[in-house]
């Protein structure tokens, strides 16, 4: 240490700029790259590369046995937009996604507000609301298939006991009721996601903001609209962005509850249709084209979510 100090003093006396001690190890930039690189490699291998292959296959006729491809141009895209069954699956996916988003957001926000209201026993309920989200989808599907059974299901038994229905309802075998039933099950499982994120944001709101509104003569309604809503809108939009993508690609619950799509394909959404095209019809090209179209539509929806999130954060600030 003394040698280093003396060398710096001599450099100052001679009018030279003292040399800075060399820093050993990685720089901050190198460290950041080293930490991001493994994740980037995995994303390229398991996300980017398969997507590029799907894009190429969407313009080709693929032999599922040999893997040989022949270029078809836009024929696969023309085919999926002229096939009634595929168009119907797109419509079901839109209904499936929108209905899930509306119900999950409404129920999630409402329950989060109740859990933040300092009610008796809310600590226990905060733990209980996480239960549906932690149960694996296949377990949920098996449980609800028993519960919605036409003959032995507890749902029909309970509704008949309280007089809401006169005879058992075909929850999972009636094409007109199947999609509604699956939506309700999916909402039960995934509404806790919004409960968690909204409750976490509610816990961080500064109480002085509510006090300021009260001082100005505002009631609970003004506190809610002026403080609570602007605070939770950004996290709700961020949650909706994630849940929209995940819900649109949901495969397990619709497939398991409908036993592969249900009578007449009443529950066949885009993911189930992609499986049907790829593995039953062995049309890899059409399946890839449908997947690419779904990705483009979700990218467009994500743009509006991100744009709304940016505006909401500016208002919140």
CA dihedral 205, 206, 208, 211 (to 10 degrees): 20
Mean pLDDT over 36-51 rounds to 92
Q: What is the pTM of this model?
A: 0.84
pLDDT of residue 9: 60
251: confidence class by pLDDT, cuts 50, 70, 90: very high
Q: What is the pLDDT of residue 181?
A: 93
Q: Which residues contact 4 (CB under 8 A, 6 or more apart)?
A: 21
pLDDT of residue 212 exceeding 90, the answer is no
Percent above pLDDT 90 for the chain: 50
Per the prediction, the chain carries an average pLDDT of 86
pLDDT in tens, 79-129: 999 999 999 999 999 999 999 999 999 999 999 998 888 777 777 887 888
Q: Name the residue with higher pLDDT: 205 or 186.
A: 186
Dist. CA 307–CA 155, nearest whole Å: 42
Map out the domains of the chain as residue ranges: 2-58, 84-316
pLDDT at 182 over 90: yes
CATH superfamily of 84-316: MetI-like (1.10.3720.10)
Q: Is a pLDDT exceeding 60 seen at residue 289?
A: yes
The pLDDT score that the predictor gives to residue 235 is: 93
Report how far apart, in Å, the C-alpha atoms of 170 and of each of 137, 162, 164, 264, 274 are. Answer: 22, 18, 15, 15, 27
pLDDT greater than 50 at residue 1: no
pLDDT tens figures, 256-284: 999 888 888 889 999 999 999 988 888 99
Beta-bridge mates of residue 13: none
- Nearest partner of 93 among 306, 305, 302, 294, judged by Cα: 294
Is residue 2 scored above 70 in pLDDT?
A: no
pLDDT, mean of residues 16-34: 70
**How high is the pLDDT of residue 222?**
83
Q: Please give the pLDDT value at position 110.
A: 93
What's the rounded Cα separation, in Å, for the pair 69 and 74? 14
Residue 143: predicted pLDDT: 92
- Asked if the model's pLDDT at residue 11 lies above 80, the reply is no
Convert the pLDDT of each residue in 129-167 to its tens digit. Answer: 888 888 999 999 999 999 998 888 899 889 988 988 888
């Amino acid at each position: 240490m003394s040698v280093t100090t003396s060398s710096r003093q001599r450099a100052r006396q001679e009018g030279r700029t003292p040399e800075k001690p060399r820093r050993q190890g990685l720089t901050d930039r190198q460290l950041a790259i080293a930490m991001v690189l493994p994740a980037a490699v995995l994303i390229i291998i398991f996300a980017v590369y398969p997507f590029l292959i799907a894009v190429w296959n969407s313009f080709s006729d693929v032999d599922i046995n040999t893997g040989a491809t022949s270029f078809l141009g836009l024929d696969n895209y023309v085919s999926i937009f002229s096939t009634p069954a595929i168009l119907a699956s797109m419509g079901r996916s839109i209904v499936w996604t929108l209905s899930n988003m509306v119900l999950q957001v409404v129920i999630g926000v409402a329950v989060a507000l109740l859990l933040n209201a300092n009610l008796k026993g809310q600590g226990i309920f905060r733990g209980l609301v996480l239960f549906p989200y932690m149960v694996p989808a296949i377990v949920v599907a098996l449980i609800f298939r028993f519960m919605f059974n036409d003959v032995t299901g507890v749902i029909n038994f309970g509704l008949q006991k309280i007089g809401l229905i006169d005879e058992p309802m075909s929850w999972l075998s009636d094409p007109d009721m199947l999609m509604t039933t699956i939506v309700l099950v999916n909402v039960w499982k995934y509404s806790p996601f919004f409960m968690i994120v909204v409750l976490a944001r509610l816990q961080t709101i500064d109480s002085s903001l509510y006090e300021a509104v009260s001082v100005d003569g505002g009631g609970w309604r003004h506190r809610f609209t002026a403080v609570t809503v602007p605070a939770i809108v950004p996290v709700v939009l961020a949650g909706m962005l994630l849940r929209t993508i995940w819900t649109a690609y949901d495969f397990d619950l619709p497939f398991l509850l409908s036993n592969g799509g249900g009578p007449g394909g009443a529950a066949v959404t885009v993911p189930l249709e992609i499986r049907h095209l790829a593995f039953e019809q062995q049309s890899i090209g059409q399946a890839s084209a449908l997947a690419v179209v779904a990705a483009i539509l979700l990218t467009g929806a994500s743009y509006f979510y991100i744009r709304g999130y940016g505006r909401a954060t500016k208002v919140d600030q």
